[in-house]
Amino acid sequence: MSHPDFSDCRVLIDPAPPRCHASHITDGALVSVEFGIIGQQLVNGLTLGGMYALLALGYTLVYGILLMINFAHAEMFMFGAYVGLFTLQGLAQIEFFTSSGPALLLLYLLTFLIAMVATGILGVIIERFAYRPLRHAPRLAPLISAIGVSLFLQNAALLWISSRSIPFPVLFEVRTFRVAGANISSMQILIIVTTIVLMLILDTFVSRTRLGRAMRATSQDRDAAGLMGVDINRVIALTFFIGPALGGAAGIFSGMYYGNIKYNMGFIPGIKSFTAAVIGGIGNLRGAMLGGFLLGLLESLAAAYISTGYKDVIAFGILIVVLIFKPGGLLGESVTEKV
C-alpha cells in the first residue's frame, strides 16, 4: 500500500509543477541553510499539522460524545477529497468561474461548501445505519462495525472511481515567497489560514451557541442531558455532521497540496490524526488542535533530521508512548475508569 506522504513533498509532486519546496533541494541558498531547513520544516509542519488537526477534531468530537473511535473517519478525508475534485472539475466547466479573480474565489468557496456538506451527510448516514443500532452494545461492536464501514468505503472508491491516484488540479497560480531562507508558498499560507479560521468557527460554535452547549452537555453525561430536554439523537447526528465535514475539508487541502488523491489516502493520515487527538487529550477540542499542529511539526522535523523511511514509525511511537505514560493527553483530564 502506498500512502500520501505528508511531510516530504518531494515524493508526490511528480505530475504537476512543484507547489512546495524543501529548501535543501531548491536553488540552494547555502548561506542560510541551517536556519533555512528549520524554518522550512516549521512551515511544512504547520501546513501538515493543520490537516492533522482538522481530521483530529472529528475523532475527538465523536469520542467525546459516544466514547467510540470512529475508525471510518479516515475515509471521510478520502471522500471529501473526491467530492471536492469532482465539484471543482464540474464547476470549472462554467466559464464565469474562471473568468476573474473573485469568481475563482467563489468557485473554491463553493467547492469547499459542497464537499463539506456532502461528507457531513455521509457521516450522518453512517451514524444512522452503522453506529446507532449498536449504541448499547459492548464496546467492541461499534469499533468492528466502523472497520467494516471503512473497508466498504475504501473499496467503493477503488471499484467505482479508480484504483490509481488521480491528479488534483489547482486553478490559481501558486506563488512562493522567500522568508528568512525558507520557501513559503501561497498554498501553504492558504491552508494554514483556512484551517485556523475553521477551528475558530468550531470553537465559537461549541462554546457560545445553544447547540454547542447541548453538545457539551451530552458529552458530559448523555442520560442527564437527555433528561434536561436535549435531543440526544440530534446532537449525535450533528456531531457526525461537523466532524466529517472538517475531515472532508482536510481531504481537499491534502489533494491541493500534494496534487493527487487516491482511494487509500485516508489510512495513514487517519491514524496520525487519531494520534494527534490522543496527544492533545481525546475528547478535548482545543487539545486536538494543539495535538495536530504539534504532531505535524514533530513529524516534519523528524523527517528532516532523523530519517524519512521511519517517519511513520515516529508518529506511532509517539502514540504508544503517550498512551502508556500520559493516557489523558496534554490537555485532557485524567479520568478514572468507570466500572
Q: Which residues bind other proteins (CB under 8 A)?
A: 1, 68-69, 129-130, 133-134, 137-145, 147-156, 159, 267, 271, 274-275, 278, 309-310, 312-313, 316-317, 319-320, 323-324, 327, 337, 339
Task: Please say which residue, 95 or 325, places its beta carbon nearer to other proteins.
Answer: 325
- Contact yes or no for 244/119 (Cβ under 8 A): yes
Task: Please say which residue, 167 or 317, places its beta carbon nearer to other proteins.
Answer: 317
CB of 69 to other proteins, least distance (A): 5
What b/e readout covers 299-329, taking b as 16+ CB neighbours within 10 angstroms?
bbbbbbeeeeeebbebbeebbeebeeeeebb
CB of 129 to other proteins, least distance (A): 7
Task: Please say which residue, 53 or 68, places its beta carbon nearer to other proteins.
Answer: 68
CB of 194 to other proteins, least distance (A): 28
Q: What CA–CA distance (Å, rounded) separates 220 from 157?
A: 36
Task: Please say which residue, 39 or 332, places its beta carbon nearer to other proteins.
Answer: 332
CB of 21 to other proteins, least distance (A): 26
CB of 55 to other proteins, least distance (A): 14
328 phi and psi angles, rounded to 5 deg? -80, -15
Task: Please say which residue, 88 or 236, places its beta carbon nearer to other proteins.
Answer: 236
CB of 319 to other proteins, least distance (A): 6
Task: Please say which residue, 15 or 327, places its beta carbon nearer to other proteins.
Answer: 327
Q: What CA–CA distance (Å, rounded) separates 81 from 32?
A: 37
Task: Please say which residue, 31 or 339, places its beta carbon nearer to other proteins.
Answer: 339
Residue positions counted in the chain: 339
**Cα torsion angle, 106, 107, 112, 114, sign:** positive
Task: Please say which residue, 141 or 190, places its beta carbon nearer to other proteins.
Answer: 141
Quote the cell numbers at residue 126. 453512517
The CA-to-CA distance between both ends of the chain, in Å, stands at 40
What b/e readout covers 267-286, taking b as 16+ CB neighbours within 10 angstroms?
bbbbbbbbbbbbbbbbbbbb
CB of 57 to other proteins, least distance (A): 17
CB of 128 to other proteins, least distance (A): 11
